[in-house]
Chains A and B, each alone.
Chain A
Amino acid sequence: MIDRSVIGKSWPVKAIVPEEGALRFFAKATGETNPIYSDLKAARSAGYPHLPVPPTYLFSLEMLAPSDSFWLDDLGLPLEKILHAEQSFEYRNMVYAGEKLTIETRISDAYEKKGGLLEFYVREMTIRNSNGTECAILKTTLVVRHG
């Protein structure tokens, strides 16, 4: 049986500043050709204050932020049995290179299917800027495959 007491588990708030160079690296790695994501001049002439943090890079922030813990280890979930099942993003405000961001993470759901052969964990992350304004809410559903 899945341990549903993990629902509500949260982690210390993480802080990260998405850096211009890191965003340029992400643009290269994803084959992004739109210059607003890698060229500050292009971003500014398109009306942005800095390089925009691209839609899915918000998911990376949690993994790139310095931390002593790894949430899958904290939940005791074996990496080799895990698959990313679903991912959602809800945007409230755009985020740009150089902004001080915080990430709040908690487990919002845990359930099983197929008599426990599949365990699902839903992690919710809230990303805020330095004013405390909510910028994005991300939900990650992972599946652990047993047997």
Chain B
Amino acid sequence: MAENVKQLAVGDRLPPHLIGPITRTTLALFAGASGDHNPIHLDIDFAKKSGLDDVFAHGMLSMAYLAQLITRWVPQSQIRSWEARFTSITPVGAIVECSGHVTEIFEADGEKRARLEITSSVQGGAVTLAGFAEVAIK
């Protein structure tokens, strides 16, 4: 992994990261572990009252999966910053697919960095999170 990163070039793809399918148990566990107890992710009655057909996954669950995409590529200590927009919801049953590629290689604060474009999506469906990350290359 480290060797690949050293010779990295714009356009290089991160190894894709696939997780799921997301079950109601996944959402219950994530609610407890993350401290996000919003019933919209847990309680179908609440979801229906809010005009939805069903609960849907926490956006931050997919962002945790996106973090795994990055930390499988470089150690966490090399992530400088990152951000994502939540573009659509992730339904129960979805397989989440995370992918990313290098868009720029540059120097900042005396170190070599790569800028990544990253997305998560429902496999075979919509993009759920779209964002960028800046990581140090060592």
Contact = CB atoms under 8 A, between A and B. Distances in A.
Interface stretch (B5-13, B83-91, B110-118): B83-91
24 contacts: A22-B33, A25-B32, A28-B29, A30-B33, A30-B65, A34-B71, A52-B76, A54-B64, A54-B76, A55-B70, A55-B76, A56-B60, A56-B63, A57-B34, A60-B34, A60-B36, A63-B37, A64-B35, A80-B40, A80-B46, A87-B63, A88-B82, A89-B82, A94-B77
Contacts, number: 98
Residue among A28, A56, A94 with most chain B CB within 10 A? A56
B94 interface: no
Interface residues of B, number: 37
Interface string B3-36: 0000000000000000100000010011011111
Interface in B51-106: 59-61, 63-65, 67-68, 70-72, 76-77, 79-86
Interface of B: 19, 26, 29-30, 32-40, 46, 49-50, 59-61, 63-65, 67-68, 70-72, 76-77, 79-86
B81 A91 contact: yes
A32 interface: yes
A120 interface: no
A111 interface: no
B86 A32 contact: no
A2 B64 CA distance: 31
Interface residues of A, number: 32
Nearest to B33: A29
A13 interface: no
List of 10 A-B pairs having minimum Cβ-Cβ separation, nearest first: A63-B35, A88-B83, A29-B33, A64-B35, A55-B67, A29-B29, A90-B81, A26-B33, A80-B50, A30-B64
